[in-house]
Chains A and B, each alone.
Chain A
């Protein structure tokens, strides 16, 4: 049986990973971008939610999958060597009204069976997290909350998929879903036809467009933008626990997160954009001011602006149904949707994947392989090794001792391995972003202003293209416009 999964984000890849467990299932992931996790999965708050903010009356399935996803991530981050930390989170109430909101979520926590959730008074709040605004009234502490590296998770899933015989086709855009005799037959892509018995639509922001190609026309998706500010590791104060403002009906509030890289992430906004703005992944002055204003309510003081290392934005796919759309269609048979994956999509992803597999199992017999490798190891980071181990590695390959990115302490060998791993999963365009997401070079204080020229040289050696032709992301994002003097030669 051939399954095509559309979209190499965390939803599509989680689903594809589970599909590789079964005998006789040929899994092909198609992705329009040059690399994994560059759509919705790239820019989000990176939280694995405890799921005490999900209302089981309004959204029973979403609540269930969020809880399941949360528990599964504990296992997946170990199996797949994904950077994660589990500090717990606190919703901060700054007024009597917000205190009532805490009580509401406390009740949901008990109903959802989220362990350890309790309301803490101001004194305990300030003891647990001294950097919280002292004017706060109380907090709702959920000790099971975590944060992961979301693009790192996509990369890990992709490598594991390929290790288990799956394939990923990059720079491949789906143009049509081919249906004959009320069954899906495959997808027409920018690179030709791919035959399939089952097509899983995990196309994120573009999922409604893909569904329409299969004749499904009962929902729409519009982008909801989330903007973020990222502060340097040296930022102070840097709360250890995830803290956030009280949620509103529309948003989960503004978060302050010490990330797995030990930087400080603040955001998001929640701006509903028209459906034609699905590429508006840029922050705005108003959005950044909104985040700072809200964050300043719950933290004793904001780090200085001089420690801002990046501002960015991501788009979440907001479905007109208000909740996840998870269906196996009978007409056309074999068309499966894992769409409308709004918040808490990252948390729920493993649960969604399991649910999709169960939907497929209702229609097709799936038999587990005898051998399936659940494990994947990340790239060895010289900076995290002890002296003896480090020196052994440097003796074998001196490139481990050549630190290229001074801010994050990333060696040449790690960059080379990132490129090798990109190639292994089928990435054709070796990009700065691809390197950045894999080894975190260009991720620190200077944002690559010191090391990017040198990295362009390393990538040039590995790809045979001149340094100026190295790209940041996709097609026109070349580093330079030519070699020096080219403007005289070529005009």
Chain B
């Protein structure tokens, strides 16, 4: 059996960028993709906004993916499509195996390292606690996007969107462009969870009302499909305000409540999950702290604002995999833990070695203006004009700073 330098689970932006980096540096990856073609989720995102950071050009989703795919083809990188990964096995330090089922047979493939870039899944209505009948006309934003922009199925005529995640905002515009009415976007919090550019370009430009502090109280159905919903305003504790309810007649309810990293196979491998990111705990090699030689990138690592970041993490993971292959493992001690302090929702990586400079991705817990990010242990303050939970902050920590700190490095956001 051939041993690849790296098995890459997932042929989306993160996986493709990782494969390209490995191949360009002379290593042999195998890309394992579950759909019938490479490209991942951007294939169904027929809107611009991709590639600004990675290609320094504004591209649509399919254009973004096809650039990566053509590079994969140019380099002659091996890939398998329609491959279902049943299990990942950590055979040894330098042997990772994946059990696959494909239309060409069931097989086991082996790599010295593994880069996990399996993307995310959407949260469903049940996770949000939306009760009511299980009928037609209730879809997540991503399923609606697949229906419309991959398979040509129109999901509904009169649509209400719950949650203001980016996919939902983008779909609001798509629905209008295809002749449907979008009656409202409901957001339970007092601020939208999507990017400002999407609020402007997808809602305001199309006169779609964004109702903050509103949520669905009840779904009503007729003849097997949604017929109306009861909307309610909520108070500071997110509890419904009695008497504020009203009915919106609609045939479709779209759930746009954000994404969660797909980590089932990692969990089965024994990788611990960060309750803040819902992704794995990793060090500054993007290597899981529990299983050496398994790297994670893209939306499986943490939910990113842009596919560009996913691609960037793919390259980061690929560079780490190369170091790992060359040195039969990576030096990972001493590990410093990055502790999300006041007003910080999440930080990735959660651990840093202090052996080199590292990027840090973080999100604040709520919208803040005139703030500073403070690292008390490092004696570092970074002033920011504003920060939103929907906008990931990316910053660099220097090796010299990290080694000065103890086991824990706290980061917090506070007013200036």
Contact = CB atoms under 8 A, between A and B. Distances in A.
Interface of A: 234, 281-285, 287-288, 305-306, 308-312, 382-383, 387, 390-391, 394-395, 398-399, 401-403, 406, 409, 411, 445-450, 452-453, 456-457, 467-468, 471-488
B178 A403 contact: no
B103 A486 contact: no
28 contacts: A281-B133, A282-B131, A282-B133, A282-B134, A306-B123, A387-B106, A391-B105, A394-B103, A398-B103, A401-B104, A401-B106, A402-B103, A409-B101, A411-B101, A449-B122, A467-B151, A472-B136, A476-B136, A476-B223, A477-B224, A477-B225, A478-B136, A478-B225, A480-B153, A484-B148, A485-B178, A485-B179, A487-B157
Interface string B180-196: 10000000000000000
A483 to B, nearest CB: 5
Contact of B224 (A456, A471, A483): A471
A398 B104 contact: yes
B147 interface: yes
Closest 6 CB pairs of A and B: A477-B224, A476-B223, A487-B179, A403-B84, A398-B103, A477-B136
B224 A480 contact: no
Nearest to B178: A484
Contacts of B357: none
B251 interface: yes
Given A306-B127, A449-B124, A480-B154, A399 B103 contact: yes
A391 B99 CA distance: 13
Contacts of B129: 285, 288, 305, 308
Interface string B84-118: 10100000000000000111111000000000000
B252 to A, nearest CB: 8
Contact of A468 (B140, B146, B153, B251): B153
Given A456-B153, A477-B224, A282 B105 contact: no
A483 B264 contact: no
Contacts of A411: 101
Contacts, number: 160
Contacts of B101: 382-383, 390, 394, 401, 403, 409, 411
Interface residues of B, number: 51
B135 interface: yes
B260 A409 contact: no
Which of A406, A480, A483 has the most chain B CB within a 10 Å cutoff? A480
A253 to B, nearest CB: 22
Contact of A476 (B102, B143, B222): B222
B26 to A, nearest CB: 33
A308 to B, nearest CB: 5
A480 B143 contact: no
B142 interface: yes
Nearest to B84: A403
Contact of A394 (B105, B151, B223, B260): B105
Given A402-B82, A468-B153, A308 B103 contact: no
A308 B127 contact: yes
A309 B128 CA distance: 10
Contacts of B122: 446, 449
Contacts of B127: 305-306, 308
A476 B132 contact: no
Nearest to A474: B224
B226 to A, nearest CB: 10
Nearest to B108: A387
Interface in B143-177: 143, 146-148, 150-157
B156 A480 contact: yes
A472 B140 CA distance: 16
Given A310-B134, A401-B82, A403-B34, 19 more contacts: A283-B131, A312-B134, A387-B106, A398-B104, A399-B103, A401-B101, A409-B86, A445-B264, A446-B124, A449-B121, A452-B143, A453-B150, A457-B151, A467-B152, A467-B153, A473-B224, A486-B154, A487-B178, A487-B179
Contacts of A446: 121-122, 124
A438 to B, nearest CB: 18
Contacts of B223: 475-477
A279 to B, nearest CB: 9
Nearest to B146: A453
A290 to B, nearest CB: 12
A458 B133 CA distance: 26
A489 B260 CA distance: 37
Contacts of A484: 148, 152-154, 178
Contacts of A481: 154-157, 251
B136 A449 contact: no
B215 to A, nearest CB: 12
Nearest to B264: A234
A376 to B, nearest CB: 26
Contact of B131 (A311, A403, A476): A311
Contacts of B103: 394, 398-399, 401-402
B287 to A, nearest CB: 23
B146 A383 contact: no
A63 B126 CA distance: 37
Nearest to B179: A487
A475 B221 CA distance: 13
B34 A406 contact: yes
B27 interface: no
A488 B136 contact: no
A401 B102 contact: yes
B230 to A, nearest CB: 12
A272 B112 CA distance: 61
Contacts of B121: 445-446, 449-450
Contacts of A406: 34, 84
A406 B265 CA distance: 12
B133 A471 contact: no
Given A476-B222, A476-B223, A480-B155, A394 B106 contact: yes
A237 B140 CA distance: 28
B225 A476 contact: yes
B1 to A, nearest CB: 14
A476 to B, nearest CB: 3
A390 B131 contact: no
A487 to B, nearest CB: 3
Given A282-B132, A398-B104, A488 B179 contact: yes
B399 interface: no
Contacts of B151: 453, 456-457, 467
A471 B136 contact: yes
Contacts of A479: 136, 147, 153, 155
Contacts of A477: 135-136, 223-225
Given A285-B129, A394-B106, A449 B139 contact: yes
Interface string B218-237: 00011111000000000000
